[in-house]
Amino acid sequence: MFDSLTDRFEAIFSSLRGKGRLSEADVDAALREVRLALLEADVNVAVVKTFLGRVRDRALAADVSKSLTPGQQIIKIVHEELIQTLGGSNSSLRQSAPPLVILMVGLQGSGKTTTAGKLAKHLKSRGRRPLLVAADLQRPAAIDQLETLGTRLGVPVYAERKSKPGRVVKAALKEAARTGHDVVIVDTAGRLQIDDALMKELAEIAKIAEPDETLLVVDAMTGQDAVNVAQGFVDHTNLTGIVLSKLDGDARGGAVISVREVTGAPVKFAGMGESLDDLEPFHPDRMASRILGMGDVMTLIEKAEQTFDTAKSEQAARKMEKGQFTLEDFLEQFQQVKKMGPLGDILAMLPGGGSMLKDVNIDDRDIRRVEAIIHSMTPEERRNPKVMSGSRKRRVATGSGTRPQDVNNLLKQFSDAQRMMKSLAGGRGIPGLSGLVGGKRAR
């Protein structure tokens, strides 16, 4: 979503880094470029004006003009002020006596029901016992969708198809108390637009549920409309937070930067993809770093900690040190990396990863091809690739739907990587990974 904006910022910052001293005219010229970049990204005009005003005041202060690296100081100021615009610090869910009641609200098509499922999975992975409540009785399909999600997640769904939303919520709260569920997530009905009927129904549900959290799900791809929708709910409900869905889309991203400052409501979560795992707590500092092309190493580390089997990783590391790392070990580690998400998304979290992705074309089809080749080998061939004769290579190519030269390339790259691993005593990575996944120089 932020590719275009990130590119613009990187170009602006590159021109600032080369200057030994910044005049007021230099600062104003840079801020004009920042202003254009933000407006093109569909950031709210008032937010742009306030943001640039704060940056300019600090940029013209004496400490910047006297700095040995004024360009770096400006970048630091932009980064810090962007963090403030996005909310300053992470706003987590409120703590309460169980059950924690969360009301999910939003317009139709915003991804509200799916987000309710993602939130249930997020909380379940942290040791909570969520109960999903199907209070959207306007659309029978919404109940079906929630029940399907509940089955996939192993999370119970409370539903009464021929009742009223208020009665469903009241009965669900009793059920949660009876069964010991410590989180109740209520999926409410949406409309195509904010209207009196929608707000009346939400008010009735809120009166019965007495929610600890009322989270508005807004589609980040709708740009300024997302901000307007959020403001409308702030005006009519006791909103405690916002969840931005579809941040993996190709929109310009202005809603993400605007919504906190316009509404005053904190962004608590961000939906980063279609998978039920793709819901992240919203950290303003990490999001600011992503937007400015500085990466997001902390989120990458957290994903790795949640995904990797520590014992298996340590065992693989010891094999690397001894030069005993086989294709079987690689496949096992590779499958753990895949659970973290697309490799392009992982690289984008590294500082400078955005620039790297411009030079290297990582295609998920190449990744699947490597996996298919290894799966088509026998256990003996995976442990000792030296036994691979021409006929074996042809058999593996046929079984994996690839060409013999693809098998040859993988074996050569893996052999090179093995030699490198043996020479890197104490290594804790998977050298040669970019070659093994078929990374190609972009033309």
Residue 310's SS3 state is helix
**Residue 245 forms beta bridges with which residues?**
219
Task: Say what the pLDDT of residue 263 is.
Answer: 87
Percentage of the chain with pLDDT > 90? 27
Task: Say what the pLDDT of residue 440 is.
Answer: 41
138-162 pLDDT tens trace: 888 889 999 999 999 999 999 998 8
Does residue 430 carry a pLDDT above 50? Answer: no
| pLDDT interval class at 197 (50, 70, 90) | confident
Is 330 buried (19+), middle (13-18) or exposed (0-12) by CB count in 10 A?
A: buried
The distance of Cα 46 from the centroid of its chain, to the nearest Å, equals 27
Which is more confidently placed, 130 or 308? 130
Task: Say what the pLDDT of residue 319 is.
Answer: 63
Sorted by sequence, the CB contacts under 8 Å of residue 226 that are 6+ apart come out as 218, 219, 220, 244, 255, 259
Does residue 1 carry a pLDDT above 60? Answer: no
Percentage of the chain with pLDDT > 70? 75
Does residue 425 carry a pLDDT above 50? Answer: no
Across 91-116, average pLDDT? 90
Task: Say what the pLDDT of residue 262 is.
Answer: 85
The distance of Cα 421 from the centroid of its chain, to the nearest Å, equals 32
Cα–Cα distance between 348 and 366 in angstroms, integer? 18
378-388 pLDDT tens trace: 988 988 888 99
pTM of the model: 0.67
Does residue 181 carry a pLDDT above 90? Answer: yes
Task: Say what the pLDDT of residue 251 is.
Answer: 58
Sorted by sequence, the CB contacts under 8 Å of residue 130 that are 6+ apart come out as 119, 120, 123, 124, 155, 181, 182, 183, 184, 185
Which is more confidently placed, 9 or 213? 213
| pLDDT interval class at 357 (50, 70, 90) | very low
Distances (CA, A) of 126 to 119, 123, 306: 11, 5, 11
DSSP state at residue 20 = S
Does residue 172 carry a pLDDT above 50? Answer: yes
pLDDT, the chain, mean = 80
- What domains does the chain contain, in order, with CATH numbers? 3-86 (1.20.120.140), 100-292 (3.40.50.300), 302-441 (1.10.260.30)
